[in-house]
Amino acid sequence: MADMVIVDRDGTEHTVEGKTGVSVMETLRELDYGIAAICGGMCSCATCHIYVDDAWAGRLPAAQGDEKELLQELSGRKPNSRLSCQVPFTADLAGLKVVIAPDD
Ligand code: FES
């Protein structure tokens, strides 16, 4: 476990223990203010859309293939958009800050 900082859709910041060794989505989906993650991490629904804080964006592996394509279709897409089911969370990312994107 390692801390993750999450900004919900109301702009409130929460510090929670993130699950390591799995995607960021696995932590977010369990929160009342989290995400729907309808496809369960299959990279097909985009209901796990987040914005990664600029200080952290460069420390994550870049989006690939299906994730890139799905992100292109989102009206709320920003340069720091990611699908949280495609972002692995590891102990060395302790303190990772993400913003839950509005429903698209
Ligand atoms: S959970 Fe569906 S795309 Fe990430």
User: How close is the Cα of 31 to the center of ligand 1, in Å?
Assistant: 16
At residue 43, the pLDDT reads 97
User: How close is the Cα of 80 to the center of ligand 1, in Å?
Assistant: 16
Q: With bands split at pLDDT 50, 70 and 90, how would you rate the model's confidence at 17?
A: very high
At residue 16, the pLDDT reads 98
Give pTM, 2 decimals. Answer: 0.96
User: How close is the Cα of 49 to the center of ligand 1, in Å?
Assistant: 8
Ligand 1: list residues with CB < 6 Å: 25, 37-39, 41, 43-48, 83, 85
pLDDT score of 103 more than 80: yes
Per residue in 39-98, pLDDT tens? 999 999 999 999 999 999 999 999 999 999 999 999 999 999 999 999 999 999 999 999
Query: Residue 16 contacts by C-beta under 8 Å, 6 or more apart in sequence?
Result: 3, 4, 6, 27, 31
- Domain hosting residue 30, numbered range: 2-100
At residue 83, the pLDDT reads 98
Q: Do the beta carbons of residue 14 and residue 33 sit within 8 Å?
A: yes
The CATH number assigned to the domain holding 83 equals 3.10.20.30
At residue 90, the pLDDT reads 97
- The count of domains in the chain is 1
Q: Whose CA is nearest to atom 3 of ligand 1?
A: 43
User: How close is the Cα of 86 to the center of ligand 1, in Å?
Assistant: 8
- The H or E element containing residue 23 is strand 22-23
At residue 8, the pLDDT reads 98
Query: Residue 36 contacts by C-beta under 8 Å, 6 or more apart in sequence?
Result: 29, 45, 47, 48
pLDDT score of 1 more than 80: no
